[in-house]
Amino acid sequence: MAMPNNLVIVRHGHSEGNLAVDLGKKGDDSLFTPGFRETPGHQWRLTDDGVEQAGTAGEWIKSEISERFDRYYVSPFVRTRETAGLLGLPDAEWRVDQRLRERDWGEIGSMPRAEFKAKYSQSAFLKKIDALYWRPPSGESIADVRLRVRSFFDTLHRECEGQSVIVVTHGEFMSAARAALEYMSDEEWMFADSDPDQKIRNTHVYHYSRQDPETDSPQKYLSWVRKVCPWRDEGEAVWKTIVRRRFSNEELLQQVSGIGPILVSSVANPKETAFEFVHLPETPWTTYFEAFPVNPMSGEYKLVPVDELILTKGPENDVRVTNRLSPVERAHRFMADLVNGVPGAGKRAPIEVRSNANGTYSVVDGNATTAVAKILGWKELPVHVIEDQAPAGTSDFNDEE
Protein backbone atom coordinates (compact mmCIF):
# COMPACT_ATOMS: atom_id res chain seq x y z
CA MET A 1 0.00 0.00 0.00
CA ALA A 2 1.13 3.55 -0.72
CA MET A 3 -0.17 7.10 -0.80
CA PRO A 4 -1.97 8.56 -3.85
CA ASN A 5 0.11 9.56 -6.87
CA ASN A 6 -1.27 13.08 -6.52
CA LEU A 7 -2.68 14.70 -3.39
CA VAL A 8 -4.14 18.20 -3.78
CA ILE A 9 -5.05 20.08 -0.59
CA VAL A 10 -7.04 23.32 -0.87
CA ARG A 11 -7.94 25.83 1.80
CA HIS A 12 -11.45 27.33 1.80
CA GLY A 13 -12.14 30.82 0.48
CA HIS A 14 -12.44 34.02 2.50
CA SER A 15 -15.16 33.51 5.10
CA GLU A 16 -17.36 35.62 7.36
CA GLY A 17 -15.06 34.70 10.24
CA ASN A 18 -12.02 35.89 8.28
CA LEU A 19 -13.78 39.18 7.57
CA ALA A 20 -14.56 39.78 11.26
CA VAL A 21 -10.95 39.10 12.21
CA ASP A 22 -9.64 41.26 9.34
CA LEU A 23 -11.53 44.27 10.68
CA GLY A 24 -10.65 43.41 14.26
CA LYS A 25 -6.96 43.68 13.42
CA LYS A 26 -7.65 47.24 12.33
CA GLY A 27 -9.33 48.05 15.65
CA ASP A 28 -12.89 47.52 14.41
CA ASP A 29 -14.72 44.77 16.31
CA SER A 30 -18.13 45.81 15.02
CA LEU A 31 -18.72 42.47 13.27
CA PHE A 32 -18.41 40.56 16.55
CA THR A 33 -22.11 41.08 17.15
CA PRO A 34 -24.16 38.88 19.50
CA GLY A 35 -25.49 37.07 16.45
CA PHE A 36 -22.00 36.39 15.13
CA ARG A 37 -20.67 35.25 18.50
CA GLU A 38 -23.63 32.95 19.07
CA THR A 39 -23.26 31.27 15.68
CA PRO A 40 -20.92 28.24 15.67
CA GLY A 41 -17.85 28.78 13.52
CA HIS A 42 -18.66 25.74 11.40
CA GLN A 43 -21.66 27.67 10.02
CA TRP A 44 -19.71 30.63 8.59
CA ARG A 45 -20.37 31.24 4.89
CA LEU A 46 -17.98 32.58 2.28
CA THR A 47 -17.83 36.30 1.59
CA ASP A 48 -18.16 37.64 -1.96
CA ASP A 49 -14.35 37.62 -2.14
CA GLY A 50 -14.33 34.01 -0.99
CA VAL A 51 -16.76 32.99 -3.71
CA GLU A 52 -14.56 34.60 -6.35
CA GLN A 53 -11.41 33.02 -4.88
CA ALA A 54 -12.98 29.56 -5.03
CA GLY A 55 -13.86 29.98 -8.69
CA THR A 56 -10.36 31.17 -9.51
CA ALA A 57 -8.82 28.24 -7.63
CA GLY A 58 -11.05 25.80 -9.49
CA GLU A 59 -9.95 27.15 -12.86
CA TRP A 60 -6.29 26.86 -11.87
CA ILE A 61 -6.72 23.27 -10.65
CA LYS A 62 -8.54 22.23 -13.83
CA SER A 63 -5.94 23.92 -16.00
CA GLU A 64 -2.72 22.99 -14.16
CA ILE A 65 -3.53 19.68 -12.45
CA SER A 66 -6.67 17.91 -13.65
CA GLU A 67 -10.39 18.34 -14.17
CA ARG A 68 -11.15 14.99 -12.57
CA PHE A 69 -9.96 13.12 -9.49
CA ASP A 70 -10.45 9.61 -8.17
CA ARG A 71 -11.42 10.77 -4.68
CA TYR A 72 -12.95 14.02 -3.46
CA TYR A 73 -12.83 14.84 0.26
CA VAL A 74 -14.22 17.90 2.06
CA SER A 75 -14.49 19.15 5.65
CA PRO A 76 -18.08 19.25 6.99
CA PHE A 77 -17.89 22.99 7.69
CA VAL A 78 -20.15 25.20 5.59
CA ARG A 79 -17.34 27.34 4.16
CA THR A 80 -15.39 24.29 2.95
CA ARG A 81 -18.42 22.63 1.35
CA GLU A 82 -19.25 25.91 -0.35
CA THR A 83 -15.67 26.23 -1.60
CA ALA A 84 -15.63 22.65 -2.87
CA GLY A 85 -18.82 23.16 -4.85
CA LEU A 86 -17.57 26.42 -6.34
CA LEU A 87 -14.35 24.81 -7.62
CA GLY A 88 -16.55 23.55 -10.43
CA LEU A 89 -14.85 20.18 -10.87
CA PRO A 90 -16.96 18.14 -13.32
CA ASP A 91 -18.68 14.99 -12.03
CA ALA A 92 -17.21 15.42 -8.57
CA GLU A 93 -18.51 13.10 -5.83
CA TRP A 94 -17.49 14.67 -2.53
CA ARG A 95 -17.01 12.63 0.65
CA VAL A 96 -17.56 14.65 3.82
CA ASP A 97 -14.98 13.67 6.43
CA GLN A 98 -15.06 14.96 10.03
CA ARG A 99 -11.31 14.54 10.39
CA LEU A 100 -10.80 17.42 7.95
CA ARG A 101 -12.56 19.96 10.18
CA GLU A 102 -10.82 23.13 11.35
CA ARG A 103 -8.79 23.20 14.51
CA ASP A 104 -11.10 23.57 17.51
CA TRP A 105 -10.56 27.06 18.89
CA GLY A 106 -12.72 26.30 21.92
CA GLU A 107 -13.95 29.30 23.90
CA ILE A 108 -12.13 31.92 21.81
CA GLY A 109 -13.28 30.96 18.30
CA SER A 110 -15.68 33.91 17.94
CA MET A 111 -13.99 36.27 20.36
CA PRO A 112 -12.16 39.52 19.50
CA ARG A 113 -8.41 39.33 20.03
CA ALA A 114 -8.35 42.07 22.67
CA GLU A 115 -11.00 40.27 24.71
CA PHE A 116 -9.07 37.01 24.46
CA LYS A 117 -5.90 38.66 25.74
CA ALA A 118 -7.82 40.34 28.58
CA LYS A 119 -9.78 37.27 29.72
CA TYR A 120 -7.11 34.65 29.10
CA SER A 121 -3.84 36.48 29.63
CA GLN A 122 -1.91 33.33 30.58
CA SER A 123 -3.27 31.45 27.57
CA ALA A 124 -2.34 34.37 25.32
CA PHE A 125 1.19 34.25 26.74
CA LEU A 126 1.45 30.49 26.10
CA LYS A 127 0.17 30.99 22.55
CA LYS A 128 2.98 33.45 21.90
CA ILE A 129 5.80 31.28 23.26
CA ASP A 130 4.61 27.80 22.22
CA ALA A 131 2.41 27.94 19.12
CA LEU A 132 2.80 24.24 18.32
CA TYR A 133 1.66 22.76 21.62
CA TRP A 134 -0.55 25.58 22.96
CA ARG A 135 -4.23 24.68 23.33
CA PRO A 136 -6.91 27.40 23.23
CA PRO A 137 -9.20 27.16 26.25
CA SER A 138 -11.28 23.99 25.63
CA GLY A 139 -9.70 23.68 22.16
CA GLU A 140 -7.01 21.83 20.20
CA SER A 141 -3.32 22.39 19.73
CA ILE A 142 -1.67 21.94 16.34
CA ALA A 143 -0.13 18.79 17.81
CA ASP A 144 -3.68 17.52 18.46
CA VAL A 145 -4.68 18.28 14.88
CA ARG A 146 -1.71 16.23 13.67
CA LEU A 147 -3.39 13.13 15.13
CA ARG A 148 -6.40 13.69 12.88
CA VAL A 149 -4.06 14.32 9.96
CA ARG A 150 -2.32 11.02 10.57
CA SER A 151 -5.63 9.16 10.79
CA PHE A 152 -6.79 10.65 7.50
CA PHE A 153 -3.51 9.80 5.78
CA ASP A 154 -3.84 6.23 6.99
CA THR A 155 -7.11 6.03 5.05
CA LEU A 156 -5.48 7.41 1.92
CA HIS A 157 -2.63 4.94 2.34
CA ARG A 158 -5.03 1.99 2.57
CA GLU A 159 -7.53 2.98 -0.09
CA CYS A 160 -6.02 5.43 -2.58
CA GLU A 161 -2.70 4.03 -3.78
CA GLY A 162 -1.85 5.35 -7.25
CA GLN A 163 -4.94 7.58 -7.38
CA SER A 164 -5.46 11.34 -7.59
CA VAL A 165 -7.12 12.82 -4.51
CA ILE A 166 -8.35 16.34 -3.78
CA VAL A 167 -9.09 17.62 -0.27
CA VAL A 168 -10.81 20.88 0.68
CA THR A 169 -10.09 21.81 4.29
CA HIS A 170 -8.78 24.57 6.59
CA GLY A 171 -5.57 26.49 7.22
CA GLU A 172 -4.63 24.86 10.51
CA PHE A 173 -5.30 21.36 9.17
CA MET A 174 -3.12 22.18 6.15
CA SER A 175 -0.38 23.49 8.43
CA ALA A 176 -0.41 20.23 10.38
CA ALA A 177 -0.53 18.22 7.14
CA ARG A 178 2.50 20.11 5.80
CA ALA A 179 4.47 19.15 8.88
CA ALA A 180 3.73 15.47 8.29
CA LEU A 181 4.12 15.38 4.50
CA GLU A 182 7.27 17.50 4.43
CA TYR A 183 8.91 15.89 7.48
CA MET A 184 9.26 19.15 9.37
CA SER A 185 10.85 19.24 12.81
CA ASP A 186 9.13 21.23 15.56
CA GLU A 187 11.64 24.05 15.04
CA GLU A 188 11.04 24.07 11.28
CA TRP A 189 7.28 24.18 11.79
CA MET A 190 7.57 27.11 14.20
CA PHE A 191 9.84 28.89 11.73
CA ALA A 192 7.30 28.33 8.92
CA ASP A 193 4.40 29.43 11.13
CA SER A 194 6.09 32.77 11.82
CA ASP A 195 7.24 33.34 8.23
CA PRO A 196 4.86 35.56 6.19
CA ASP A 197 6.17 33.98 2.99
CA GLN A 198 4.85 30.60 4.14
CA LYS A 199 1.43 31.80 5.25
CA ILE A 200 -1.41 29.53 4.08
CA ARG A 201 -3.90 31.90 2.49
CA ASN A 202 -7.50 31.46 1.44
CA THR A 203 -7.81 28.92 -1.44
CA HIS A 204 -4.10 28.19 -1.27
CA VAL A 205 -3.45 25.00 -3.23
CA TYR A 206 -0.79 22.52 -2.10
CA HIS A 207 -0.06 19.81 -4.67
CA TYR A 208 1.91 16.77 -3.46
CA SER A 209 3.00 14.14 -5.95
CA ARG A 210 4.73 10.76 -6.21
CA GLN A 211 5.43 11.41 -9.88
CA ASP A 212 8.71 12.99 -10.88
CA PRO A 213 7.81 16.39 -12.43
CA GLU A 214 10.48 15.92 -15.09
CA THR A 215 10.08 12.25 -16.04
CA ASP A 216 6.52 11.57 -14.81
CA SER A 217 7.75 8.28 -13.36
CA PRO A 218 6.12 7.29 -10.05
CA GLN A 219 8.21 7.00 -6.89
CA LYS A 220 7.45 5.13 -3.69
CA TYR A 221 6.61 8.22 -1.64
CA LEU A 222 5.09 11.67 -2.08
CA SER A 223 8.40 13.30 -2.93
CA TRP A 224 7.50 16.65 -4.54
CA VAL A 225 5.33 19.60 -3.60
CA ARG A 226 4.31 22.84 -5.25
CA LYS A 227 2.02 25.51 -3.88
CA VAL A 228 0.08 28.42 -5.32
CA CYS A 229 -2.55 30.92 -4.23
CA PRO A 230 -4.31 31.30 -7.62
CA TRP A 231 -6.01 34.67 -6.98
CA ARG A 232 -2.81 36.21 -5.62
CA ASP A 233 0.32 34.56 -7.05
CA GLU A 234 1.76 35.20 -10.47
CA GLY A 235 3.99 32.92 -12.46
CA GLU A 236 4.39 29.18 -12.48
CA ALA A 237 4.26 27.16 -9.26
CA VAL A 238 7.72 25.68 -8.67
CA TRP A 239 8.17 22.06 -7.62
CA LYS A 240 10.20 21.44 -4.47
CA THR A 241 11.74 18.09 -3.60
CA ILE A 242 10.73 16.57 -0.24
CA VAL A 243 13.53 14.88 1.65
CA ARG A 244 12.62 11.97 3.95
CA ARG A 245 15.27 12.61 6.56
CA ARG A 246 16.73 10.23 9.11
CA PHE A 247 19.26 11.33 11.73
CA SER A 248 22.27 9.77 13.36
CA ASN A 249 23.00 10.16 17.06
CA GLU A 250 25.54 12.84 16.23
CA GLU A 251 23.10 14.76 14.03
CA LEU A 252 20.44 14.76 16.76
CA LEU A 253 22.94 16.08 19.28
CA GLN A 254 24.10 18.73 16.82
CA GLN A 255 20.49 19.89 16.37
CA VAL A 256 19.84 20.35 20.07
CA SER A 257 23.25 21.88 20.74
CA GLY A 258 22.07 25.17 19.26
CA ILE A 259 19.27 25.43 21.83
CA GLY A 260 20.56 26.97 25.02
CA PRO A 261 19.76 25.33 28.36
CA ILE A 262 17.04 26.86 30.53
CA LEU A 263 18.75 26.15 33.85
CA VAL A 264 22.13 27.72 33.27
CA SER A 265 23.41 27.19 36.80
CA SER A 266 22.38 25.86 40.16
CA VAL A 267 20.90 28.41 42.54
CA ALA A 268 21.70 27.84 46.19
CA ASN A 269 19.67 30.82 47.31
CA PRO A 270 16.74 31.74 45.04
CA LYS A 271 16.96 35.34 46.27
CA GLU A 272 20.45 35.73 44.83
CA THR A 273 21.36 35.98 41.17
CA ALA A 274 23.58 33.14 39.97
CA PHE A 275 23.21 33.83 36.27
CA GLU A 276 26.34 34.66 34.30
CA PHE A 277 26.16 36.20 30.87
CA VAL A 278 27.92 34.37 28.08
CA HIS A 279 30.30 36.59 26.14
CA LEU A 280 28.75 37.01 22.69
CA PRO A 281 30.07 38.89 19.67
CA GLU A 282 29.54 42.60 20.05
CA THR A 283 27.62 42.83 16.78
CA PRO A 284 26.19 39.42 15.84
CA TRP A 285 23.90 40.56 13.08
CA THR A 286 26.23 39.43 10.30
CA THR A 287 25.74 35.89 11.57
CA TYR A 288 22.03 36.56 11.76
CA PHE A 289 21.86 37.67 8.13
CA GLU A 290 23.87 34.65 7.01
CA ALA A 291 21.64 32.25 8.95
CA PHE A 292 18.43 33.77 7.58
CA PRO A 293 18.98 34.78 3.96
CA VAL A 294 15.60 36.51 3.56
CA ASN A 295 16.68 40.10 3.92
CA PRO A 296 15.05 41.45 7.09
CA MET A 297 16.31 44.93 6.35
CA SER A 298 14.18 45.38 3.26
CA GLY A 299 11.54 48.05 3.78
CA GLU A 300 10.63 47.14 7.35
CA TYR A 301 13.73 46.74 9.51
CA LYS A 302 16.59 49.07 10.29
CA LEU A 303 19.66 49.06 12.53
CA VAL A 304 19.59 51.70 15.26
CA PRO A 305 22.03 52.49 18.07
CA VAL A 306 21.12 50.73 21.30
CA ASP A 307 21.45 53.96 23.27
CA GLU A 308 18.57 55.40 21.22
CA LEU A 309 16.18 52.70 22.47
CA ILE A 310 14.11 53.81 25.44
CA LEU A 311 12.90 51.09 27.79
CA THR A 312 9.30 51.63 28.89
CA LYS A 313 8.74 48.85 31.45
CA GLY A 314 11.56 48.97 33.97
CA PRO A 315 10.50 46.02 36.18
CA GLU A 316 10.74 43.64 33.23
CA ASN A 317 14.43 44.44 32.87
CA ASP A 318 15.49 43.38 36.35
CA VAL A 319 17.54 40.20 36.51
CA ARG A 320 15.47 37.83 38.64
CA VAL A 321 16.43 34.23 39.34
CA THR A 322 13.87 31.84 40.74
CA ASN A 323 13.20 28.30 39.65
CA ARG A 324 12.39 29.67 36.18
CA LEU A 325 14.20 31.86 33.67
CA SER A 326 13.92 35.59 34.25
CA PRO A 327 12.95 37.87 31.33
CA VAL A 328 16.54 39.10 30.94
CA GLU A 329 17.94 35.58 31.06
CA ARG A 330 15.37 34.50 28.50
CA ALA A 331 16.30 37.41 26.25
CA HIS A 332 19.98 36.60 26.60
CA ARG A 333 19.35 33.00 25.61
CA PHE A 334 17.31 34.23 22.66
CA MET A 335 20.20 36.41 21.48
CA ALA A 336 22.55 33.46 21.80
CA ASP A 337 20.17 31.49 19.58
CA LEU A 338 20.46 34.24 16.98
CA VAL A 339 24.23 34.15 17.04
CA ASN A 340 24.24 30.36 16.76
CA GLY A 341 21.77 30.36 13.88
CA VAL A 342 19.03 28.40 15.67
CA PRO A 343 16.15 27.89 13.15
CA GLY A 344 13.21 30.19 13.84
CA ALA A 345 14.93 32.57 16.23
CA GLY A 346 15.69 35.12 13.54
CA LYS A 347 12.07 35.77 12.69
CA ARG A 348 11.67 37.41 16.09
CA ALA A 349 14.97 39.24 16.07
CA PRO A 350 13.88 42.80 15.23
CA ILE A 351 12.23 44.24 18.32
CA GLU A 352 9.20 46.46 17.80
CA VAL A 353 9.54 50.18 18.45
CA ARG A 354 7.81 53.48 17.79
CA SER A 355 9.90 56.42 16.59
CA ASN A 356 9.93 59.62 18.64
CA ALA A 357 10.29 63.15 17.36
CA ASN A 358 13.68 63.57 19.05
CA GLY A 359 15.23 60.67 17.13
CA THR A 360 14.87 58.08 19.88
CA TYR A 361 12.67 54.98 19.83
CA SER A 362 10.23 53.80 22.49
CA VAL A 363 10.38 50.03 22.85
CA VAL A 364 6.99 48.37 22.34
CA ASP A 365 8.10 44.75 22.47
CA GLY A 366 11.53 43.51 23.45
CA ASN A 367 12.44 45.39 26.63
CA ALA A 368 14.34 42.44 28.05
CA THR A 369 16.16 41.93 24.76
CA THR A 370 17.13 45.60 24.73
CA ALA A 371 18.26 45.41 28.36
CA VAL A 372 20.58 42.52 27.55
CA ALA A 373 22.01 44.42 24.58
CA LYS A 374 22.79 47.33 26.88
CA ILE A 375 24.35 45.06 29.50
CA LEU A 376 26.53 43.37 26.90
CA GLY A 377 27.58 46.69 25.44
CA TRP A 378 26.25 46.00 21.96
CA LYS A 379 26.25 49.03 19.71
CA GLU A 380 23.13 48.49 17.59
CA LEU A 381 20.08 46.28 17.12
CA PRO A 382 17.70 45.67 14.22
CA VAL A 383 14.28 47.13 14.98
CA HIS A 384 10.88 47.07 13.37
CA VAL A 385 9.08 50.43 13.42
CA ILE A 386 5.40 49.58 13.69
CA GLU A 387 1.95 51.09 13.65
CA ASP A 388 -1.05 49.73 15.58
CA GLN A 389 -1.59 46.37 13.94
CA ALA A 390 -1.66 42.71 14.92
CA PRO A 391 0.58 39.97 13.44
CA ALA A 392 -0.86 37.54 10.88
CA GLY A 393 -1.34 33.80 11.38
CA THR A 394 -2.76 30.87 9.47
CA SER A 395 -6.12 30.18 11.02
CA ASP A 396 -9.60 31.67 10.91
CA PHE A 397 -8.88 33.08 14.33
CA ASN A 398 -5.73 34.76 12.99
CA ASP A 399 -6.04 35.13 9.23
CA GLU A 400 -5.87 38.27 7.18
CA GLU A 401 -7.44 36.65 4.12
Residue 232: per-residue pLDDT: 94
The pTM of the full predicted model, rounded to 2 decimals, is: 0.69
Do 87 and 57 form a contact (C-beta atoms < 8 A)?
yes
pLDDT digits (tens, 9 = 90+) for 89-144: 999 999 999 999 999 999 999 999 999 999 999 999 889 888 999 999 999 999 99
Residue 164: per-residue pLDDT: 97
Closest CA to 61 of 216, 226, 242, 241: 226
Residue 276: per-residue pLDDT: 43
Residue 364: per-residue pLDDT: 77
Closest CA to 363 of 392, 331, 329, 319: 331
Do 86 and 49 form a contact (C-beta atoms < 8 A)?
no
Residues of the chain with confidence (pLDDT) below 50: 265-278, 293, 296-297, 299, 314-323, 347, 388-395, 399-401
Question: How many helices and strands, by DSSP H and E, does the chain display?
Answer: 13, 12
Closest CA to 161 of 270, 22, 7: 7
C-alpha dist (Å) from residue 210 to 3, 27, 30, 260, 278: 8, 45, 47, 39, 48
Q: Distance between terminal CA atoms of the chain? A: 38
Kindly state the helix (H) or strand (E) to which residue 291 belongs, with its residue range.
helix 285-291
pLDDT digits (tens, 9 = 90+) for 168-195: 999 999 999 999 999 998 888 988 888 8
Q: Using only the alpha carbons of the chain, give its radius of gyration.
A: 23
- How far apart CA 99 and CA 52 sit, in angstroms, is 26
